[in-house]
Structure 1
Amino acid sequence: MSESEVLKKVRLTSLSHGGGCGCKIAPGVLADLLKTSVPFALPPELLVGTETADDAAVYQINEHQALIATTDFFMPIVDNPRHFGQIAATNAISDIYAMGGKPLLALALVGMPINVLAPEDISEILDGGREVCAKAGIPVAGGHSIDSVEPIYGLAVIGIIDPKNLKKNSTAQAGDVLVLGKPLGVGIYSAALKKDQLDSVGYEQMIANTTKLNTPGQKLSTIAGVHAMTDVTGFGLLGHAIEICKSSSTQGLINYQELQILPGVKSLAEQGCVTGASGRNWASYGHQVELSNSLTAVDRAILTDPQTSGGLLVACSPTSLDAVLKVFKEEGFEQAGVIGSLVPAEDARTVVKVS
């Protein structure tokens, strides 16, 4: 057996300590790290920076055009190399859509254990990323690669938007309804996969969910009643809902029964298929959440479950809801639906209530 044949038997997820957006630094730890950042005078053209933990940076270049810049990369969440590339690319491009923009081009970010992974597997990862970029109508125009201990892949993506259509996570309004574009449970699926407890149907659901581009974002940005938008990724639904509420001085009311959850997720969570990131997420922001007594530990795990390439979370006026749901349906997001609403903030402690 050749060296390349031996290398090809290596399981991708066995090479990483975490996978997908579950690799993210916990929100509380990240906040502490950023506290030491040295203040810097920001140009007025920088419409979105780090101040509200938004999805991407936005820099205005003229009256009708602003550039959107983002980057996302992580370790494998699946063992199939092509699927890993597709998921990572979909996740990275999502940040452009979450700001309401149109993606223009991508740069590949590649770190691979060259002496561990077979060259053909690495090529498959890159090909998967290029396939998704082609679906988004953008080229992979370059990038950077290193020899690393763990396999890492992602993209830096540049997009464009008319500033008047820009959707931040900080501009939600009391009275808005919250719409979620994709079902939850990807992190629990990934935990089950690592334990060989995810069946073929679950795996197909996982790939379909994580490789579905959040294309509705660009159309949603043109609807005046859409006030704020983000995508749900590593901090889980609660974490990203908190970001919207804190930055817009509102309180979120989430109806757990209205959440769309991937098939079999609850059962897998009951069997202990929960990521470590879920617990880290709760430890970081649980003090800002009020959960109904009727909700179980499994329910909490789903609410904090890190989503890789998760759905768009949209805050819109009730009068624009039909238009928002129409866009989602036209783009193939049949499971998109209302999961709650926003009200004036009662106090600084309870940011989100879940009933």
Structure 2
Amino acid sequence: MNAPVTNNAVEPRLTSLSHGGGCGCKIAPGVLSEILKNSSGLLPKELLVGIETADDAAVYKLNDEQALIATTDFFMPIVDDPFEFGRIAATNAISDVYAMGGTPIMALALVGMPINVLSVETIGKIIKGGQSVATAAGIPIAGGHTIDSVEAIYGLVVMGLVHPSKVKKNADAKVGDVLILGKPIGVGVLSAALKKEKLSPEGYAAMIANTTKLNKPGAALANMPGVHALTDITGFGLAGHTLELARGARMTAVIEWSKVPFIKDVKALAAEGYITGASGRNWAGYGKDVTLPADFASIDQALLTDPQTSGGLLVSCDPTIANDVIALFNREGFESAAIVGRMEAGAGRLVVV
């Protein structure tokens, strides 16, 4: 094994070590579906949520008052700053607990690093970045596992708790629900521009702010009876994760494209060609189940499928409490939260209008 890099060595950009950064490096949805189609095994009655509807985390009932949420998420660098990479990866992992309506209680670190390429100091900054987010979430990183890897990989195993009756699945939407998105989209576009060194300082700041904002409203949403379903928008894009919600509920989800919030300057960057390869792979994986307007532009299709890293919560709720849900997001600092669509009777499709 080669010796670790010393302080005097010139290190490469973190993103140069990634063949796909952040949630953009997820396995394409069509391929993933094929891999997992025969993977179900033992299903004890205490397992409230498994892999059946591609939900955000597994949930296991411990007793009448508590259910354990367990999830893991890790990926390769989406930014070059090691501390910020750690923050983004940790925020993204913890989000899955919030997306089930739970409260995180503990995490374990997953660390794979090319130790002959990156210095101990750089790797330490990545881990410190993750620790800073765990501290903000009020949980310890109590252990983990490390390996010497070809590419830099960091993430967390996260555990949380929720009352068994308040688990928010991605499959429980009801006809007539409105869909509320907690964060603006466009992270994949920003990451593509960053990798080509074409992202402005303002765009970079917006990207960091969006990807490191913990989805804490998820725990409070679990206590609102009119909230029927929750998920978060990550690597499969707004279209992919909304479609999972529709398939799980055996309904049709409708997205009103004009109401979808975007991070500033994302549309302009997309028009300049800063689009990730994952966007096209996403469309290839699920586009057959999506109906677009006849005049829907190719740039809009790329944004619809743009992979989000540490994206926002998508809430399916009774329209009578929509204002309360948005007010909750606003109080927690999610100023862009907006109604972006609705749920209708149908059969596992997404319609964009």
Shorter-normalised TM range: over 0.9
Q: Where do residues 164-183 of structure 1 align in structure 2 (5 Å cutoff)?
A: 164-183=165-184
Contact 1:7/1:117 (<8 A) preserved:
no
Distance 1:5 1:290 in 2: 54
> Contact (CA 8 Å) 2:5, 2:118: kept in 1 or not?
no
Q: Deviations over 1:235-293 (max 9, x none)?
A: 00000000000110110111111010011111111111111100000000001011112
Amino acid at match of 1:320: I
User: Are positions 1:63 and 2:64 aligned together?
Assistant: yes
1:141 aligns with 2:142: yes
Alignment of 1:3-152 (within 5 A): 4-37=6-39, 39-152=40-153
The one-letter code matched in structure 1 to 2:31 is V
Listed one character per residue, the Cα deviations across residues 41-73 of structure 1 (whole Å, up to 9, x for unaligned) are 311000000111000000001001000000000
Name the SS of the counterpart of 1:274 in structure 2.
coil
How far apart in 2 are the matches of 1:164 and 1:80? Answer: 41
User: Is structure 2 residue 255 aligned with structure 1 residue 254?
Assistant: yes
Name the SS for the 2:77 alignment partner.
coil
Question: 1:206-230: CA deviations, max 9, x gaps?
Answer: 0000000000000001000000000
Q: Which residue in the other structure is 1:328 paired with?
A: 329
TM-score w.r.t. the length of structure 2 is 0.97
Deviations 1:134-181 (A, max 9, x none): 000000000000000000000000000011111000000110000000
Task: Check 1:249–1:165 CA distance in 2 against 1; reply closer, same or farther (3 A cut).
Answer: same
Cα offsets for 1:301-327 (capped at 9, x unmatched): 110000000000000000111221121
Kept in 2, the 8 Å contact 1:8–1:121? The answer is no
- Structure 2 CA distance, aligned partners of 1:103 and 1:46? 18
Structure-2 residue corresponding to 1:352: 350
Deviation, 1:6, is 4.9
User: Aligned partners of 2:300, 2:13: CA distance in 1, in Å?
Assistant: 30
Residues 102 and 159, structure 1, Cα contact 8 Å, conserved in 2: yes
Return 269-278 or 150-159, whichever deviates more. Answer: 269-278
Residue identity in the other structure for 1:23: C
Amino acid at match of 1:245: A
Q: Matches of 1:11 and 1:326 in 2, distance apart?
A: 40
Looking at structure 2, the residues matched to 157 and 90 of structure 1 have their Cα atoms a distance apart, in angstroms, of: 11
Would the aligned equivalents of 1:187 and 1:307 in 2 still touch at CA under 8 Å? Answer: yes
Amino acid at match of 1:15: L
C-alpha separation in 2, matches of 1:293 and 1:269:
20
Q: Deviations over 1:7-55 (max 9, x none)?
A: 4531000011010000100110000011232x42311000000111000
Measure, in 2, the Cα distance between the counterparts of 1:111 and 1:321. 42
- Residues 235-254 of structure 1: pairs in structure 2 closer than 5 A: 235-254=236-255
**Structure 2 counterpart of 1:210, which letter?**
T
Is residue 157 of structure 2 the alignment partner of residue 156 of structure 1? yes
2: CA distance between counterparts of 1:320 and 1:223? 9
Between the two proteins, what is the percent identity of the paired residues?
59
Question: Any idea what SS the aligned residue of 1:84 has?
Answer: helix
Q: Distance in 2 between matches of 1:3 and 1:303?
A: 41
Distance 1:5 1:267 in 2: 39
Return the offset for 1:296.
0.7
Equivalent residue number for residue 208 of structure 1: 209
Please state whether the residue corresponding to 1:110 is helix, strand or coil. Answer: strand
Q: Which residue of 1 aligns with 2:294?
A: 293
Contact 2:113 2:123 in 1 (8 A): yes
Aligned letter for 1:94? S
TM-score by length of 1: 0.97
TM-fit CA distance, 1:77: 0.2
| 8 Å contact from structure 1 (residues 8, 117) kept in 2 | no
State the alpha-carbon separation in 2 of the partners of residues 278 and 86 from structure 1. Answer: 24
Matched residues in 2 for 1:179 and 1:189: separation? 23
> Is the CA contact (8 Å cut-off) linking 2:69 and 2:102 kept in structure 1?
yes
Q: Could you tell me which residue of structure 1 aligns to residue 228 of structure 2?
A: 227
Write the distance in 2 (CA, Å) between the matches of 1:334 and 1:15.
Answer: 34
Could you tell me whether the CA contact under 8 Å between 2:5 and 2:120 is conserved in 1?
no
Q: Which runs of 4+ in 1 moved over 6 A?
A: none
Structure 2 unmatched ranges of 5 or more: none
Task: Answer whether contact 1:104 1:138 (CA < 8 A) is retained.
Answer: yes
Distance 2:148 2:5 in 1: 18
Query: 2:11 touches 2:117 (CA, 8 Å); kept in 1?
Result: no
Q: Which stretch has the larger CA shift, 325-334 or 120-129?
A: 325-334
Given the superposition, is the C-alpha separation of residues 8 and 136 from structure 1 closer, same or farther in structure 2, using an over 3 Å criterion?
Answer: farther
Alignment correspondent of 1:263: 264
- Cα gap change, 1:204/1:46 in structure 2, threshold over 3 Å: closer, same or farther? same
